[in-house]
Structure 1
Amino acid sequence: MATEKTSRKQEILEAALACFTEHGIDGTTVEMIRERSGASVGSMYHHFGNKESIAAALYLDALAGYHAIQMAALADAKTAEDGVKGVVHAYVDWVSANPEKARFVLYSRSAISKSEAGTSVLERSRAKVGEVLEWFAPHIDAGRLKKLPPECYGSLITGPAHDYARLWLSGRAKTDIKAYRDVFADAAWAAVRP
């Protein structure tokens, strides 16, 4: 039974992603998502309640998928350099493998932050960033990474890849982001190494 619920919920999220991609969050209705997913009205409201809740759940689901890859890369890392490059590789690999989800995350954050679920989404997102910073903390304390304001690490480590992701996902850059994963990883390491 739990598998059925999980798969129905996932089907609704996949349908929502397709609808949001085609029509935007504002242009999508719950009925469009319901119709595309094949879910009943009761199932839609049981799992989510409204369109904003669906968008927030989709956003969090995408971030959770990315975060799992990121944490796996950190679990395999033996050095600060491995950790920095692993985080960049995780970001690039996730964006390349999930362009629709990545596009949704990059371009819907503002709309989601203004929704009823915005505060919850922001708190969960910050918690995931906190987990990554926890991994880096011993390396920072030991001088294996530059000591910087905590909020700067994300910009310096994934910033260049994130900027290129925006170009690639919008069609302004034609080369798949994955082709440059080592370029971005080297740049991140150069930015934060001591």
Structure 2
Amino acid sequence: MARMGSKQHRGEVTVERILDAALRAYLAEGESGFTVTAVLDLSGVSTGSLYHHFGSLQGLRTALAERWTGALIVEMTNALQRHDNARDAVHALVGAYLRFVLDNRDAALFLHMADTDRETMARGRELRDLQEARLSPLAQWAREGIASGELADLPLPLIESLLLAPVVGTARRWLSGIHDMDLTEAARILPERIWLSISADPATARG
């Protein structure tokens, strides 16, 4: 049993090493730099080890996207669940997203790259199913907010878009190198603006 545990631990360490190297390779040269050779050079693992754990270069890229998408969703979900009222939850979620971008700039840059967006669209239903499962706490939060009268009675995908699209757009603009905004300032301004767009009663939403 101890040997199995040690073997499993080594495998986990190898996976993390490959994923870290993949992120560095992708950010160094973009799509053209994301090659097996580059990942092997940066990670120091064998070709067989890479294919054993990920199956292919595409499998590695998918795993990298899922790793960081999952980490971001955990941060957002935790932010939502720390607050009983919808307005405070919105403020917390926006802050969590932008802090993630600041604290994990390289990973956030990968997640917001056009190449990653295209892959998400190309994989279509498969990724949508995965994301819907992970985002179920957000859907549940929205349903509860509508039922309690805090959130506008809108389709759940529209609430999600109104909640996340401004934050994603702000993050993408900052990550692109257009530093005409400060993310800390955005974290102060955006939440209330977003809240007004999904509140059941915008006229009194500030109350």
TM-score, normalized by the shorter chain, greater than 0.5: yes
Q: Between Structure 1 and Structure 2, whose CA radius of gyration is higher?
A: 2
Distance 1:145 1:114, change over 3 A: closer
C-alpha separation between the residues in 2 aligned to 1:145 and 1:162? Answer: 21
2:196 equivalent among 171, 180, 190: 190
The within-5 A match list for 1:69-108 is 69-107=75-113, 108=115
Q: How does 1:1-194 map to 2 (within 5 A)?
A: 1=6, 2-107=8-113, 108-113=115-120, 119-194=125-200
Deviations 1:21-68 (A, max 9, x none): 122234421121011011111210111011111111010001111111
Give the fraction of aligned pairs with identical amino acids, expressed as a percent. Answer: 27
| DSSP 3-state at the match of 2:135 | helix
Q: Which has the higher contact order (CA 8 A, sep 6+)?
A: 1
Return closer, same or farther for 1:119/1:48 CA change in 2, 3 Å cut-off. farther
CA pair 69-113 structure 1, distance change in 2 beyond 3 A: closer
Q: Deviations over 1:105-155 (max 9, x none)?
A: 11133342366x665333212222233111221111121101111111122
Gap runs ≥5 in structure 1: none
CA distance in 2, matches of 1:175, 1:31: 37
TM-score, length basis structure 1: 0.90
Alignment root-mean-square deviation, CA: 1.9
Structure 2's unaligned 5+ residue stretches are: 1-5, 201-207
Please identify, of 103-112 and 51-60, the stretch whose mean Cα deviation from structure 2 is larger.
Answer: 103-112
**Counterpart residue type for residue 103 of structure 1:** L
Q: 1:166 to 1:193 in 2, by over 3 A?
A: same
2:35 and 2:92 map into 1 onto residues whose CA distance is: 39
- Which amino acid is the alignment partner of residue 46 of structure 2? S
Determine if contact 1:96/1:178 at 8 Å carries over to the other structure: no
Q: 1:20, 1:28 within 8 Å by CA — same for their partners in 2?
A: yes
